Structure formats: structure tokens, C-alpha cells
Amino acid sequence: MKNQPSVRSVTEPAREIKVWKEADVVVVGGGPGGIGSAIAAARTGAKTVLIERYGYLGGIATGGLVNIIPNLADISGKQRIYGLTAEMLSRLDRRGGTTYPPKKDWGSADKDVVDYYHEANMDWFYIRKDTDTGQRRLIYTAVVDPEILKDEFNDMVLETGVDLLLHSWGTRVIMDGNKVKGVFFESKSGRQAILGKVIIDATGDGDLFVSAGADFDNECDNRRRTAWLAQVLWITNVNLKKFGDFKASQPEKYRELNQELAKLDGYPMFFKGLLKNQPNTVWYHGMQPQPERTDAMDVEQLSRIDIRARKRALITYEFMKKHMPGFEDSFIMLTAPQLGTQGGRRITGEYTLTEKDLESDEVFEDTIAVLANNDYGEISVKHPALCIPYRCLVPIKVDGLLVAGRSFSCADTINETFNIIPHCLTYGQAAGTAAALAVKAGVQPRKVDYKTLQDNLRKQGVNLPDTKQVKKGSAPSKVPGRAKEYYYQDYTVAGQGDPRHEPRI
Ligand SMILES: Cc1cc2nc3c(=O)[nH]c(=O)nc-3n(C[C@H](O)[C@H](O)[C@H](O)COP(=O)(O)OP(=O)(O)OC[C@H]3O[C@@H](n4cnc5c(N)ncnc54)[C@H](O)[C@@H]3O)c2cc1C
């Protein structure tokens, strides 16, 4: 048996901490989950504070440059996501900050319509196969300008009267028995505290619920998208017409160049940027399966990933500029200010969503969201919508605490499909509304009346089913893996075979 390295430790002395604010609802983390929470809590009448560790809102949606807002409708074209996502898109629309297919094309099997997104290498975000007819259909998905979105999120949050504090890192919860009653945070102004009646952990990684001693799960199969961390790269001033002509006329040469780039450790796959206000731009998501799962909670690994990602971005850019027709005058427009992280801790809630729910048409008594179930082939066609119960946001045991965003209570097999930006905004909208209602009623979040919560959400434009129509689904059978061929369409063209055989960092 190997000797374990000795771990040195020091004791931190106790000290008095200044209380910066007292509020009804304190939201930690300003990504989609936190923004949804803060806006909804304030609109429902709660005195609300939102703290965010970086200098802008949006989390991975803006800082991670993952600006594609997918699965807004199901495969038939029926819109499923409304509420704050619809509000965000309509505000962005007024400023030219979003591009999306016209409504008449949602669910369309028209070849020209579908091919436009296929050509952009955006199959995973825009196209699904209808297993009944064999046709490819267009999914309603939007792309957003992250710089306009940062400003719009500030406005949306501040208009509701939320106290917004940026550059503030939530570190630990303050407990009273099994109840959370505040948070400590660190900033350039030192360590301070905020007291609140309900705390919402919207850090994405569950930074706070772990300090509350809440049960959680962080299992994550490394074949899943959620197990990979990635830094997004945007290259602009690309002559896409010239590139397209070259790819079409010399597919072998194109393949060879991609193989060469992959051998150099560059990224051989990009999406054509679809934003109308940013022509000639391409997006590299840099997401590639690793032989072992990456760990968003390991700061040493995060450092190594960022360093390597920067190197790979430059390898890619320099290679493309030198060798790929159309990229001669290109330049790096932006690398994501923050690493795209996911696959962190997931709370163990009063209900845990699993694969079985994909095949059930159950309308939960406490449904707070209806999401398009688009990624599971035949199952999706049979069960195009999935209801999410409020209990997925409520930790077992710990009081005074809710969770919003990607760390909601679910199996990792489900998380990779249902952790996306519009979904996290939706969970946030429900968590914030519930927190405010709990404060009003003087009850713990787990005791919030579901019907009152749903009535409030409906008033905010969330589309919810009538819970009286409870319909049990068919017995669950084995759920196939997600349709990976869509994501890796161009990557496999690069001839690397199984992309999981990438070198580890
Ligand atoms: C590479 C990659 C590509 C993706 N592509 C897409 C895509 O195209 N479309 C899509 O819809 N989804 C995509 N996703 C998933 C999606 O971006 C996330 O699941 C979603 O943003 C999660 O929202 P969230 O609010 O839960 O967490 P996050 O977006 O991670 O937001 C958490 C926020 O909390 C802040 N925070 C964290 N810890 C603390 C702390 N201790 N104190 C204070 N603040 C803190 C963070 O700075 C951040 O602002 C992608 C994810 C990755 C990693």
C-alpha cells in the first residue's frame, strides 16, 4: 500500500463578521438559475439580494460564451418554454441581440430549412429525427449575443429592485440548527455576511449546500457531455463563402487538414455563428470527451484545463489562418472569460428526476416547468414533454434553502439534457417565486402550497399544465443514450474515430 501524502492544515481563528444586508431572499450565483430566482423573488414581493462572483451576470450563458438557447419547442414545433426565457428573448430581439428561426419553421421537415442548420454544423441544437416518419425536423432554438445579454440581464434584475452585488464570492452558509439563515461572502471589501429567510444556492456547483451539510450526488459518467469542461473560442473575419466552397469542392483535402489539426491538439470542429449582427464568425465549443471525467471542483484541474485550452485555441487559430481557405484574414474575437463548467454537485431533493420520468406522462402535483423532451429518439417522439416537480429544488433535511439551476435533483443521465440555459432560468423562476411565497406565508420552502406557487408562475407567463389531468405513463423501458452523432457530426469527419480517445490533460 502506498504511503498517503501528509496533509498539513492550520486552524482559522474565529472572528466577528460584519452583516452587510438583511433580506427575505438571498440568491448566490448570477447565472441563469440565479437570475431567474432573483427576478421572480423580487417580483413576488420579497426583499432580495443577488451576489455574483464575477463582474457580470449570465454565468456560463454569457461568460462561458455558450450562447445557444436550445429546445424551446418539441419536435412537432410546439413551444414548451415560456416565462423568463421568452421575456429575455423578446428584450434581446428589440436590440438585435438574438437570431432564431421564424415560427412557421418550428418543427418543419423542409429540406432547405433543415439543411441551413446542418451546414452550420448545428445539428444537435436544431435538428431531430422524427422516428415515426424518418424525417429530420427543425427544433426552435435561439442564439443570443452575450454582450447585449449581460446588459439586458443587469436591467432585468435591477428593474425589479433586487440588491445586486458583483465581485462577491459566496463561501459558506450560516446555520441555525438544520436551517440556513445567511451566507458569508468574500470580496475586495473583505469577509461579510448577509442574513436571509430563504437562501437560494444558484452557484451551479452547489458551493453553498455542501456547507449546509445537505445530501448531494456528484456521480457523472465521463461519456456524458456534463463530464467535460471547456473553454469557448470565437474567431471572426472568416470568409465563410470561400471556406464553404473549399469544403464542398475538396472534401478529402478538408478532411486531411482537420486530421492534421487534431494531431496538433487543435479543435477540428466549429459551429458557424448564426447571429445576424455578428457575420463571418465561427464558434468553437472545445467540448471533447475525456478518458476520465473532469472535475469542476478541483482547482488544480481547473487551472490545467484553462492553460491547455488557451494553448489549443492558439494552435487552432494559427493553423486555420495558415492552412484553411477562408481563414486568411481571420482573428480571435474572444475567448470565454470563464471556463464552461458543469457536472458538479447535484442536490438530493425531495424528488430526484431519473430516466424513468422520460417515459412517463405524469403531470406532477407540484409541476413548476414543462420542458421539451427532444434528445431520446423514439421516446421523445412518444413523450415530447417532461414535467419537472418543485421538489427537485427542495433539499431533503436542510431548511431555509432552495436550489436553482443545473444542480437540481436529478440523475446524471438526465442532467446533461435538462441543465441547459432556458431550463435553468425556468427552475430559477420557480425557486425565487417559492422562496418569496415561503417568506410571505412564514413557512419553510418545502411547505409552500403548490397550487399558490403554480398560480403565481402562471401569472408570470410560465406555461403549466392543469394538474388535475394526472395521467400515468407507460412502464419505463431502457432509455437509449443521447443522440451523440448530432454533436460530433463534423468531429468524426475529421477521422479521429472515437473522440473519447483524446489525450488527457
Ligand atoms: C462547454 C459548455 C457548453 C454548453 N453549451 C450550452 C448551450 O449551447 N446551450 C445551453 O443552453 N446550455 C449549454 N451548456 C449548459 C449551460 O450553460 C449550463 O448548464 C447553465 O448555464 C447552468 O446555469 P446555472 O445558473 O445553473 O449555472 P452557471 O451558468 O454555472 O451559473 C452559476 C453562476 O454562479 C456564479 N458562482 C459560482 N459559484 C459562486 C460562488 N461561490 N459565489 C458567487 N457566485 C458564484 C458563477 O460565476 C455563475 O455566474 C453548456 C455548458 C458547458 C460547460
* Atom nearest to 231 CA in ligand 1: 1
CA distance 127 to 287: 19
Specify the pLDDT at position 286: 84
The preferred substitution site among 203, 290, 408 for testing ligand 1, maximizing ligand atoms within 8 Å of CB, is 203
Residues of the chain falling short of pLDDT 50? 1, 470-505
Specify the pLDDT at position 468: 59
Grid cell at residue 354: 431519473
Ligand 1 centre and the CA of 442: distance in Å?
Answer: 31
With cell 414543462, the residue in question is 370
Residue 300 to residues 168, 296, 297, 304, Cα–Cα distance (Å): 22, 10, 9, 6
The residue contributing the CA closest to ligand 1 atom 18 is: 420
29 lines ligand 1 (CB under 6 A): yes
122 lines ligand 1 (CB under 6 A): no
Ligand 1 centre and the CA of 359: distance in Å?
Answer: 27
Specify the pLDDT at position 228: 83
Specify the pLDDT at position 179: 98
343 lines ligand 1 (CB under 6 A): no
Ligand 1 centre and the CA of 204: distance in Å?
Answer: 6
Grid cell at residue 84: 423568463
Other CB atoms within 10 Å distance of the CB of residue 219? 10
- Strands across the sheet with 142-144, in order? 68-69, 142-144, 98-99
Other CB atoms within 10 Å distance of the CB of residue 110? 14
Q: For the segment 241-269, what is each residue's pLDDT rounded down to a tens digit?
A: 999 999 999 999 999 999 999 999 999 98
62 lines ligand 1 (CB under 6 A): no
173 lines ligand 1 (CB under 6 A): no
Q: What's the chain's average pLDDT?
A: 90
Ligand 1 centre and the CA of 478: distance in Å?
Answer: 29
